[in-house]
Amino acid sequence: MGEMSRTDPPGAGRSGRIGIGLQLDATHLKILEVLREHGRISVAELAERVGISRANAYTRFEALRADGVIKRFTLEVDHVRAGLGITALIFVTVRQQMWKQFRAQLAQMPEVEYCAITTGQHDAMIQVRMSDVAAVHAMVTDRLANIPAVKATETVFILDEVLHRPYVLPSDQPARTATTPRPEPRRREPVPLGKMRFVGAAEGRATLQRD
């Protein structure tokens, strides 16, 4: 089988994309739904589950890869059994104009599973998995605190992961209700006061710069 595709996806890896990409139809989504749960089944079995011919499955499968919709195949592990049973979220306040260094430092931290730049009170959220809580403490105080770009951190622990889907698809979106149609008239129901709160970006965040 080799690697299933020797050719590198044309636009993969680049952030700015040139082509518009292929339009996903229901069959494409079905393929992604099946592969989400069974990323290692053969294309023949994939075709059977989706209800298309094998040749068609090969064509679409390769198209999804070539177009970059499918980035890579991977797997899910049981973190506890893998020896890293403690998960923590670290919210980071980044010193402005040091974003580049912040990103560079993070790239060298293999213990970080996820990092995203966010709006709101903090600037970034980091998710780490550790063997014990002491390791989290060490991570925050020794590793993160030594990064000049890090101004402050706030750590919370994850007590339980209720659900964790590899990804969601447009087909997972609930049908827009009558009360919330598409982006046309900009008027919606009055929101129960004090129940919801959107948090905008902190000042000076417009200076967000890549690399």
Give the interface with DNA as residue ranges (CB under 7 A).
Answer: 1-2, 4, 27, 42-45, 52-56, 58-60
Residue 31 burial (C-beta neighbours within 10 Å; 0-12, 13-18, 19+): buried
Return the one option of a copy of itself, DNA, none that residue 70 interacts with (CB less than 5 to 8 A, by type): a copy of itself
User: Cβ–Cβ contacts within 10 Å for residue 127, how many?
Assistant: 14
**Which one, 55 or 156, has the nearer CB to DNA?**
55
Tokens matching residue 107: 């790239």
Q: Cβ distance 155 to 89 under 8 Å? A: yes
Residue 90, helix vs strand vs coil: strand
- Work out how close the CB of 209 gets to DNA at its nearest, in angstroms, rounded to a whole number: 39
- Residues 1 and 40 sit within 8 Å (Cβ to Cβ): no
Annotate 98-126 with b (16+ C-beta within 10 A) or e (fewer): bbeebbebbeeeeebeebebeeeebbbbb
The residue (of 17 and 59) whose beta carbon lies closer to a copy of itself is 17
Shortest Å distance, C-beta 55 to a copy of itself: 18
Q: Which does 53 bind (CB under 5 to 8 A by kind): DNA, a copy of itself, none?
A: DNA
Measured from the CB atom, the residue of 59 and 141 that comes closer to DNA is 59
129: partner contacted, choices DNA, a copy of itself, none (Cβ within 5-8 A by kind): a copy of itself
> 44 or 152: whose CB is closer to DNA?
44
DSSP run (H or E) holding 91: strand 86-94
Q: Which partner from the list a copy of itself, DNA, none does 59 bind, CB cut-off 5 to 8 Å by kind?
A: DNA
Q: How far is the CB of 82 from a copy of itself (least distance, A)?
A: 6
